[in-house]
Amino acid sequence: GTFAVAENGQPDFRATGFWNNYRDLDDFTFQGPGPTPGSIVLQRQNVGAARSRGAEGEVSLRMTNALDISVSYNYDLARVVATKAFVNRVPLQRGAARLTYQAPRIATLNAIFRYEGPNHALGGARLAPYGVFDLDARHELRRDVDLFVSAENLFDRSYTVNFQGPLESLGLPRTVRAGMSLRSF
């Protein structure tokens, strides 16, 4: 993503508050135990109305001509109106911190920490919060052509993104990508 910054040493603040009402929201609901020990049966159903209230904000600061730092935070209280249950897979909190170093003749480097707060799996089970580090480096070969290498979950942290009965789904392990990016517009 991109972000705007003010002059050197001047912080740039952005904030948004929101209140969303949804009707006829589809979500997975627990139907009962499954056919094998420890399994469960989920069914996608219309759970009716849901409400999401919260705020998001970002602060960015250009430290020098080559160094930027930004921090963002999102709070999203999303619940089904009739039952007050949390909407599945909508974390209450998310945050990120990014440090960007730009040396146009060499590369643009991004170090990113991403945090996702407590959450609920598709079956309603509570998921623990987690944080991961990412790195990204890009070098412009010529206008609209970049070489890049990136690493997501750099420290190979194991974290759970869903439970379905005895099945635990883990998040992306350390993943390294390299390639060329072409822009035509």
Each residue's pLDDT tens digit, 139-163: 999 888 999 999 999 999 999 888 7
Spatial distance between the Cα atoms of 135 and 60, rounded to a whole number of angstroms: 18
- The DSSP code for 166 is T
Strand order in the sheet with 93-103: 11-33, 40-62, 67-80, 93-103, 107-116, 130-142, 145-152, 175-182
* Maximum distance among all Cα pairs of the chain, rounded to whole angstroms: 62
In the predicted model, what is the mean pLDDT of residues 66-76?
95
In the predicted model, what is the mean pLDDT of residues 47-52?
88
In the predicted model, what is the mean pLDDT of residues 106-128?
89
Please identify which residue in the block is written with the tokens 């990412």.
134
The model's pTM: 0.77
Tell me which of 4-8, 70-74, 97-101 is least confident: 4-8
